[in-house]
Amino acid sequence: MDVNVLLSIFVAYLLAAGLQFLLWRHAVKSANAGWVDLGWTLGMAFGMMSAQAFLPFSPRGVFVGGVVLFWSLRLAAHIYVDRLRGENPEDGRYVNLRGHWGEQADRKFFFFFQGQALLVPIFMLPPIAVILRPGAFPDVFDLLGLLIAFGAIAGESLADRQLARFRQNPENKGKVCQSGLWRYSRHPNYFCEWLHWTSYVLWSMGSPLAPLAWIGMILMYLFLRYLTGIPHTERQSLQSRGEAYRTYQQTTNVFFPWIPQKPS
């Protein structure tokens, strides 16, 4: 791997680790470990700045950099407003970890935050693969990559807004959002987040690092579908919405959007 690529990845990690350290200190003071999610998202923005600084300038690099920055800043703003601003309570995932770790929680959260920083250089590999793709810009893969990436980001933003509007209505307390994109998937925001990472697989066609673009798509699917995303959200929804959510599970696909089914 080119020395400039390695250097950009290393600097991206250092920036992400420094940011997560600062956010960990704030999380200790505020007793809210949800700041780690903001650190991961903004860490990707810093990582892209590192890539732009160390890798050769190209129009393709400018566009992929714009996609990553737009994705990062939109998601960071959503995380801050939805989970961190004002008196928002700590996310249930971190409440459970805090209870499990007990008196050692703050120390163990330090390593948890730093573990998130390690993900930044890994997820920087797909956009770096696009930056290093040779050939004139734009071509068909550039256009398709941009279309899928911005379509996915727009879809995730739409799903977030639809759910936020639903929750703001006091009459919907204890009910399940089944309108808009939520009619076709129980987690359309997660699906669109994964779709964003699939765009780099297509966009990097012909790059010497094209195989590395699959890392983002595969890891994001595993994280969202089986580890940190859907399993926790489903448990929380069953606890808070009970039978209404069980019916929703019977009628609506968990991840990939599809036509709703009749309850069994």
pTM for the predicted model, two decimal places: 0.94
**Does 148 share its domain with 91?**
no
Taking 70 as the pLDDT cut, the residues of the chain under it are 264
Whole-angstrom Cα distance, residue 128 to residue 144?
17
Q: Which of 22, 36, 30 is nearest to 93 (CA)?
A: 36
**Does 203 share its domain with 112?**
no
**Does 141 share its domain with 209?**
yes
**pLDDT, tens only, 85-126:** 887 889 888 998 999 999 999 999 999 999 999 999 999 999
**Does 244 share its domain with 207?**
yes
Tokens of 242: 């009970």
Residues in Cβ contact with 261 at an 8 Å cutoff, skipping those fewer than 6 apart: 250, 251, 252
Residues in Cβ contact with 71 at an 8 Å cutoff, skipping those fewer than 6 apart: 44, 149, 153, 196
Which of residues 132, 148, 177 is at a domain's end?
132
Which of residues 116, 132, 148 is at a domain's end?
132
Whole-angstrom Cα distance, residue 125 to residue 200?
10
Could you give the angle at the alpha carbon of 106 between the alpha carbons of 101 and 111, nearest 5°?
90
**Does 75 share its domain with 179?**
no
104, exposed or middle or buried, with CB in 10 Å at 0-12, 13-18, 19+? exposed
- Please report the pLDDT score of residue 88 as a whole number: 82
- Please report the pLDDT score of residue 2 as a whole number: 87
Whole-angstrom Cα distance, residue 201 to residue 215?
9
Which of residues 132, 149, 168 is at a domain's end?
132
**Does 53 share its domain with 28?**
yes
**pLDDT, tens only, 197-219:** 999 999 999 999 999 999 999 99
Domain count, the chain: 2
- Please report the pLDDT score of residue 150 as a whole number: 96
- Please report the pLDDT score of residue 264 as a whole number: 66
144-179 exposure pattern, b = at least 16 Cβ within 10 A, e = fewer: ebbebbbebbebbbebbebbeebeeeeeeeeebbbe
**Does 155 share its domain with 72?**
no
Domain interval for residue 93: 1-132
- Please report the pLDDT score of residue 262 as a whole number: 81
- Please report the pLDDT score of residue 93 as a whole number: 87
